[in-house]
A = this chain, B = another copy of it.
Amino acid sequence: MADGKADAILDAALRLFDERTYAGCAMPLIADAAGVAAGTIYRYFPSKEALANALYRQWKARYVECLFADDDPGEAPRPRVERVWGALFDFAGAHPAAFSFLETHQHAPYLDADSRALSARLDKLAVAFVTSVQETGAVRAAPAAELIALFLGAFTGLVKARTAGYISFDDSLRARSGDAIWQLLARPDAPTGGHLMTRSLPLTTRPRR
């Protein structure tokens, strides 16, 4: 995972910031974990704050990139939602510390304007996605922020449970939780149907009221 020194430092920082919080881990600790001297960090990052921002941006960018990468607005809502859920699984499965770090440090005081801008961009994409699936009528009419909070919060819960050792990420979890989260989002009185049907019958899904 770590090729150059900068990467080794970023990797070590990611793990330690996630485990011990930003303020809770000393630069020499990160240096040790990265296998470099304390001073070396400063050849790559001008300060601890800059390191944390670089870290945040790096992962947030990857996160944004893969989250809606395969989304197809022409598809039916359920597969779209499950695809995003699957993308979360893929991302957090491969980079649990990164996912956790991004969630935990969402509004950290040391994040600079660029980092916040990136975060805001993701927020907008998420709102656009939710609004888009809501427009089909298959998804609850709640405020987008609310559904995002439930959806993302639920997934974050899984990641934390995994980190705590309570559960493990596998295909069965992915399938079960994907179904569960769809039920959470689905308009209760809408014809939900199975995977196969949803795709073929989007037009029949009409809100009753």
Q: Which residues of A contact B (CB under 8 A)?
A: 19-25, 104, 106-107, 109, 140, 142-143, 145-158, 160-161, 163-164, 166-167, 173, 176-177, 179-181, 183-186, 188, 194, 209
A145 to chain B, nearest CB (A): 4
**Are the CB atoms of B176 and A149 closer together than 8 Å?**
no
The residue that A183 contacts in the complex, of B104, B166, B183, with Cβ under 8 A, is B183
**Are the CB atoms of A161 and B145 closer together than 8 Å?**
yes
The residue that A161 contacts in the complex, of B23, B149, B155, B160, with Cβ under 8 A, is B149
Q: Is the interface of A mostly helix, strand, loop or mixed?
A: helix
Distance in angstroms between the alpha carbons of A49 and B81 in the assembled complex: 43
| Closest 10 pairs (CB-CB, A-B) | A153-B157, A23-B24, A149-B161, A184-B184, A149-B157, A23-B23, A145-B166, A154-B154, A183-B183, A21-B21
A28 to chain B, nearest CB (A): 12
**Are the CB atoms of A152 and B146 closer together than 8 Å?**
no
Contacts of A20 on B, CB cut-off 8 Å? 23, 109
19 pairs, CB–CB < 8 Å, chain A vs chain B:
A20-B23, A22-B24, A24-B109, A140-B180, A142-B180, A146-B158, A146-B177, A147-B180, A148-B157, A149-B157, A150-B154, A153-B154, A153-B161, A154-B184, A156-B157, A179-B188, A180-B184, A181-B184, A194-B209
